[in-house]
Structure 1
């Protein structure tokens, strides 16, 4: 599989997970009866089954008969699903089950199994509440970007990763740099020289730590942040201790008071603006290209139908879809010719008036993003989801219906 195909599959999988998360967030239970279970890849299925069995037994003590029954039914449903697995899939799995409010005093039993989330499930977790636990999955989907983190002063240093929203401390070091006061009867000049040597040695040690961690991943990284008090971080960066390929991707230096593990979190907070800009830089560049072609190059399309037609012709190089788009497409059979209409996913499918004036019911209805992505996949077109966290990204959703394309060649459609 090519890198391009891998990215397309990853984007599709993230979108599918996002849809499921939004669906799960809409569900409510009348009591603490919605069960969520996060299973890491290295967890034995037999251990998960044993835990579910134990929870089923303990649920017998729930006072409310309805809640007791619903919880036990949810656990039984999860246990039945687990029979199909010898081992958890890669990155683990998440199971949701429970009786949801269907209105009119009625409930429906819902059970969903999500295999191989975008990031590994880090630990086993059992949760029973009136809502499904989706926050860990939301954080996984937000895990765009890989950044190196360095915090240091002349006493200690810590190095780690920022993966999306997760800070991962990895390495630390303590220095042997003496304080500013001269000790042991040494001359002031000798003491100052020894102190500078100790500082230089410590900076080299920190750089070696960082280089060992970052250099192997330098082509996957989106940048490096360096933090600490002045002048330490400035001395470190001005001295060019880091490997040149790591030094080249430093996004900035930031004032951070602490240089232990908590300093890594402070560094992320201090560099929030830089991180936000870096994360959506590709989106900004794509939208700049789109607007340039729209106004001057004639190699742009937007809106559902023109974009669909260009996709079918194979003329779309990059399909641009707003990450906040949530619509369906209804497909109508108009005398053997298919006609399409984008409809609100929350509303019933309307009847459609064909070009010849005939009114018809929808033949089928599906998610508009999946509909367009399927055509894009068949034609070798890249699909990119565009954030609405910047002006032109918001314009894509509000002014262009959330759908656009950069063309390989002008088609006039």
Structure 2
């Protein structure tokens, strides 16, 4: 940037040169401030976590102290550094000089996030969950607003194929993977076919937007992060509303005696479309199968005790089942009398 410098000229021109110098610097400050707003403010919100001002002279300080610099951006300035170069070399030097500060910004954000999570726990609001199972239940229900996941979480998501052709979802850590009994088909006693094996971290990174959630990775380098990893399994979520996880779990483990089965192994997976082709299954909807011969009363009993998430699906199943099992209505006495008279 070519800006006028101070000079030693005297006489009547001194004030004029000083005024021109100040005007050009002022105009350049305005230009930089406007570009900062265009790049770092979107929809009236700051889109960066922090700003670092770097330069080889006092211009960076002039910008930081100027009224032309948007106050929202001024509040995000975390460091002002002196660099010896311009252009790309100066930019790289600014990054190097600010490496510790940049690390601390992430560190501070991480502490703030986990402390907010702990605050919800202390308030006993019921708007938090932890552990793989409950976190995925909340995600599946659309209740998870912010997912908090340890950046080195060692959990694997398995998609297995049972002897009936259905998909079974299983999550294991390193120790649990050695227990092969989890991979055995209860019907045949044989090990199930592995359709997909993927890190849960990778799966969440690909799918979290589909559930309307935000995803935040944390480390265990802070005391709060270490407590979250050691005490809460390294995975949890802040919820939009309170969930009854016991009721959700009961819905997944519902016994077939009521006419509806929600196989625990099918949770968070897609229902097997081949089930609809089987003659011994009346209706398949979501994770539920309606068994022929089940009385509508028992189905209705299950619907009334169901979780809010599955209520609509179960109610529709009940209606279909009721239409399948309904007997033709007997004619009224008046209609029978008219038919006999004819």
Q: Please state which band the TM-score falls in when normalised by the shorter chain.
A: 0.5 to 0.7
Match of 2:330 in 1: none
- 1:225 is aligned, of 52, 71, 74, to 52
Mapped pair 1:267 → 2:267: no
- 1:303 is aligned, of 124, 131, 144, to 131
- 2:180 is aligned, of 343, 350, 354, to 350
Match of 2:69 in 1: 242
Q: CA deviation at 1:342?
A: 0.9
User: CA 1:319–1:247 in structure 2 vs 1: closer, same or farther (change >3 Å)?
Assistant: closer
Partners of 2:41 and 2:228 in 1: how far apart?
A: 30
Determine if contact 1:386/1:393 at 8 Å carries over to the other structure.
no
Partners of 1:369 and 1:229 in 2: how far apart?
A: 43
Match of 1:6 in 2: none
Determine if contact 2:132/2:235 at 8 Å carries over to the other structure.
yes
Q: Count residues with an aligned counterpart.
A: 233
Partner SS for 1:352: helix
- Gapped regions of structure 2 (runs ≥ 5): 246-342
- 1:289 is aligned, of 109, 116, 119, to 116
- 1:401 is aligned, of 223, 233, 238, to 233
Greater helix proportion: 2
Q: How does 1:91-170 map to 2 (within 5 A)?
A: none
Partners of 1:410 and 1:319 in 2: how far apart?
A: 15
Q: Determine which structure has more spread, i.e. the larger CA radius of gyration.
A: 2
Determine if contact 1:303/1:404 at 8 Å carries over to the other structure.
yes
Q: What's the TM-score once normalised by structure 2's chain length?
A: 0.53
Q: How does 1:319-398 map to 2 (within 5 A)?
A: 319-330=147-158, 340-344=170-174, 350-352=180-182, 361-364=191-194, 365-367=196-198, 368-369=200-201, 380-388=211-219, 390-391=221-222, 392-398=224-230
Partners of 1:239 and 1:372 in 2: how far apart?
A: 44
Match of 1:210 in 2: 32
Q: What's the TM-score once normalised by structure 1's chain length?
A: 0.45
Q: CA deviation at 1:249?
A: 4.0
Mapped pair 1:410 → 2:242: yes
Determine if contact 1:311/1:375 at 8 Å carries over to the other structure.
no
RMSD of aligned residue pairs (Cα, Å): 4.2
Partners of 1:324 and 1:227 in 2: how far apart?
A: 34
- Gapped regions of structure 1 (runs ≥ 5): 1-172
Partner SS for 1:176: coil
Greater strand proportion: 1
Partners of 1:206 and 1:286 in 2: how far apart?
A: 38
Match of 1:125 in 2: none
Partners of 1:176 and 1:377 in 2: how far apart?
A: 51
User: CA 1:276–1:374 in structure 2 vs 1: closer, same or farther (change >3 Å)?
Assistant: closer
Partner SS for 2:25: helix
